[in-house]
Structure 1
């Protein structure tokens, strides 16, 4: 489970991350990430009805939440992350979801590390 401080909660934060962040897509997820400085890493999830019924969507969310909790050990501070589950996520195994999530997160982190943040440009 993710602590309250590690969750993206407002629509403004979701929009900012999706529109301004680095993007990385995999078979089961599309991940968006933006730098936040020294704040704790926060994660939000978008699981649309196209993924499946409520039971399936909740299963996908629980699996992605667990992958996010694991990723906080590697990236405890500095990012806001939004994960959009794609329809194939409904039939993906836990290992496939975890692999796609971690691969996409590492790609986004690499992209963000190459680009200086707004504060570093000043």
Structure 2
């Protein structure tokens, strides 16, 4: 995941929270905001200290970035996403994180349903 695909600034986070739609399951809250004329989607990650220590939080962030990289072909390019990890994520392995994130993205109708055999 390239640097320009990350949301870093506080104002950018705030605008996604204020103007975007949110969808959640038990593990993640996903905020999404359509940005016209943006070539790539961008993601911002928020993992609270309540979720775990730095090692745990960084692992979660790594997992989330990997999932977004894996599905970047299916995600709309002109969106900003902010993902908030909730406490249950701390005990999850990569495949559980992946299926939970996919669930939230499908719920928000961001993953276009297509088969993976065409790659």
**Scaled by the length of structure 2, what TM-score is found?**
0.84
Q: Which residue of 1 aligns with 2:74?
A: 74
Structure (1/2) with the larger helix percentage: 1
How many residue pairs align between the two structures? 109
Q: Which residue of 2 aligns with 1:15?
A: 14
1:1-122 correspondence runs (5 A): 2-39=1-38, 40-109=40-109
Q: List alignment gaps of at least 5 residues for structure 1.
A: 111-122
Q: Which whole-Å CA distance do the structure 2 matches of 1:28 and 1:65 have between them? A: 15
Q: Which whole-Å CA distance do the structure 1 matches of 2:75 and 2:102 have between them? A: 11
Q: List alignment gaps of at least 5 residues for structure 2.
A: 111-119
Q: Which whole-Å CA distance do the structure 2 matches of 1:108 and 1:12 have between them? A: 23
Structure (1/2) with the larger strand percentage: 1
Q: Which whole-Å CA distance do the structure 2 matches of 1:109 and 1:36 have between them? A: 16
Q: Which whole-Å CA distance do the structure 1 matches of 2:76 and 2:22 have between them? A: 19
**Scaled by the length of structure 1, what TM-score is found?**
0.82
